[in-house]
């Protein structure tokens, strides 16, 4: 194609001329406000405090957990958002994983049943599936919309949420914390790291950096600053990434390629590249603001038809299941809180199964460690998943083992419960759902408003009893904030406010 001077001129090459005016008219309208509820959450018509509301007016046609909100909604100020009931996400961004589900729901691969039937299995079959769970890679994951969506939809899988740009990792971690999902491993590696295990992943999601033409509604200067050279630069970068990561996918695995741009160079040409590498295109679709009422996007779902075998990991049944562990929490909490860290570390025996290149959970030992502080509901944690320690951090994860190469490179996995400091354990924000009732406290609406704004609280009679302690602050029975009580006041330790 010859070089074009303006975005308007270029648009005629990918959109029928009779739709050009409709496109630009739609770009002058404000984008729809939309959210995606997590599976555990229920849709609510009224939420918030002191008049702060969000109101669901419609559902998203391609995502049953997606909701379109009224124009006056303020979802980011809602308490439901703080407690992780939903993710604020454009409906166009929800489409890629929704299209994937259309094909994966009928896919069995090396497994004997579809991915999404896990919850209906009997105990014996469920144990078999736990021993052969699937792996999903979200290669360019931040800020986490597709990571949390696919992890919520495929809870029996391990989702590796990778972000190579270090400055984007904090936003990714923050959104994963809010999601409360336990099956996500966060890494910050380039493709060469994953090539030590080619053909390892069952699904790869690649929502790659692009020109961003679909975001014109939100970023008006995109039209003014648009250049065809930028399209070509991004297209070249995307092709390099796709070539580098395509053989990480196992035979018959699914590849989801998506962008938030319109150009053929960044979309169809990259699909053609994957087809030339042995992939079969199952379906592709471009979303337009004037047709689909969303930010622009492109998605293609492909299947790997290369005859290469996945490197298998032989996962044996684990003898110690956290759900069978019984801990006397009162006895555990009676241990001296000032036990030094060296004494704590000596009591831990972290098992590394190098024969199978797996790191196994050490739930029982970690529960003993957590019970040294009075904050945690030990039995609830034991019922919820498996515990691991990595360096000075304790994590709760959904699976009894993690491949060693992922464990070693993980920035985070599951939800962090605590960090090990010089004089004991410091609860992590994610642990507020697992606090003992003795260390949960309800405050009034005025104090909730201050905490929501990221402010600290003054020390009052309700808090003086907990001097020097950490607390999980509740609203309507739901944990929302992590605070620490000190003589100077109540410190708000909740991230992302």
Catalytic residue list contains 210? no
Q: What burial class does residue 423 get, using C-beta atoms within 10 Å of its C-beta: 0-12 exposed, 13-18 middle, 19+ buried?
A: exposed
Residue 285 near residue 234, CB atoms below 8 Å: no
Query: What is the distance between the alpha carbons of residues 136 and 150, in angstroms, rounded to a whole number?
Result: 8
Query: What is the distance between the alpha carbons of residues 334 and 229, in angstroms, rounded to a whole number?
Result: 67
Please pick, among 27, 174, 210, 260, the residue that the annotation labels catalytic: 260
Where is 268: in which H helix or E strand? helix 268-276
Angle 145-153/91-104 helices, nearest 10 degrees? Answer: 30
Query: What is the distance between the alpha carbons of residues 464 and 454, in angstroms, rounded to a whole number?
Result: 21
Kindly report the CA angle at 221 between 216 and 226, in degrees rounded to 5? 85
The contacts of residue 262 (CB under 8 Å, 6+ apart) are 11, 14, 15, 213, 214, 286, 288, 296, 298
Closest by alpha carbon to 417, among 438, 434, 441? Answer: 434
Query: Which DSSP symbol is given to 4?
Result: -
Query: What is the distance between the alpha carbons of residues 161 and 138, in angstroms, rounded to a whole number?
Result: 5
Closest by alpha carbon to 379, among 329, 330, 333, 416? Answer: 329
Tokens at 139, concatenated: 């290669």
Query: Which DSSP symbol is given to 336?
Result: -
- Which residues are catalytically annotated? 260
């Amino acid at each position: 194609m010859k070089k074009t001077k303006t975005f308007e001129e270029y648009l005629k090459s990918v959109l029928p001329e009779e739709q050009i005016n409709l496109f630009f008219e739609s770009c002058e309208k404000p984008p729809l406000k939309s959210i995606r509820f997590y599976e555990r959450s229920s849709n609510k018509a009224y939420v918030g405090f002191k008049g702060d509301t969000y109101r669901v007016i419609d559902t998203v046609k391609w995502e049953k957990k997606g909701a379109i909100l009224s124009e006056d909604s303020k979802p980011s100020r809602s308490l439901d958002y703080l407690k992780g009931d939903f993710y604020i996400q454009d409906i166009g961004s929800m489409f890629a994983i929704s299209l994937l589900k259309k094909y994966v729901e009928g896919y069995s691969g090396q497994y004997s049943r579809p991915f999404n039937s896990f919850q209906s299995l009997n105990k014996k079959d469920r144990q078999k599936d736990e021993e052969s769970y699937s792996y999903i890679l979200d290669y360019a994951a931040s800020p986490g919309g597709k990571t949390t969506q696919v992890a919520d939809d495929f809870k029996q899988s391990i989702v590796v949420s990778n972000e190579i740009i270090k400055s984007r990792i904090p936003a990714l971690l923050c959104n994963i914390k809010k999601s409360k999902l336990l099956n996500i491993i966060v890494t910050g590696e380039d493709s060469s790291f994953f090539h030590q295990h080619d053909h390892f992943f069952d699904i790869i999601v690649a929502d790659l950096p692009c020109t961003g033409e679909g975001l014109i509604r939100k970023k008006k200067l995109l039209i003014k600053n648009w250049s065809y050279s930028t399209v070509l630069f991004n297209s070249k970068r995307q092709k390099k990434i796709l070539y580098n990561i395509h053989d990480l996918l196992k035979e018959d695995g699914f590849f989801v390629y998506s962008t938030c741009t319109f150009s053929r160079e960044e979309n169809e040409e990259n699909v053609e590249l994957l087809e030339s590498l042995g992939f079969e295109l199952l379906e592709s679709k471009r979303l337009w603001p004037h047709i689909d009422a969303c930010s622009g996007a492109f998605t293609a779902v492909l299947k790997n038809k290369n005859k290469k075998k996945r490197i298998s990991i032989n996962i044996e049944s684990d003898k110690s299941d956290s759900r069978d562990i019984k801990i006397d929490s009162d006895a555990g909490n009676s241990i001296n809180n000032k036990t030094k860290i060296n004494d704590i570390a000596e009591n831990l025996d972290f098992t590394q199964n190098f024969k199978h290149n797996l790191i196994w959970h050490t739930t029982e030992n970690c529960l003993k460690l957590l019970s040294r502080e009075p904050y945690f509901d030990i039995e609830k944690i034991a019922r919820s998943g498996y515990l691991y320690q990595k360096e000075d951090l304790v994590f709760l994860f959904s699976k009894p083992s993690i491949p060693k190469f992922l464990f070693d490179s993980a920035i985070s996995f599951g939800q962090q419960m605590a960090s090990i400091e010089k004089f004991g354990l410091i609860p992590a924000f994610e642990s507020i759902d697992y606090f003992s009732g003795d260390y949960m406290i309800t405050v009034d609406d005025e104090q909730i408003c201050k905490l929501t704004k990221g402010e600290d609280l003054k020390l009052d009679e309700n808090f003086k009893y907990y001097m020097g302690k950490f607390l999980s602050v509740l609203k309507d029975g739901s944990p929302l904030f992590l605070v620490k009580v000190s003589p100077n006041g109540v410190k708000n330790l909740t991230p992302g406010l």
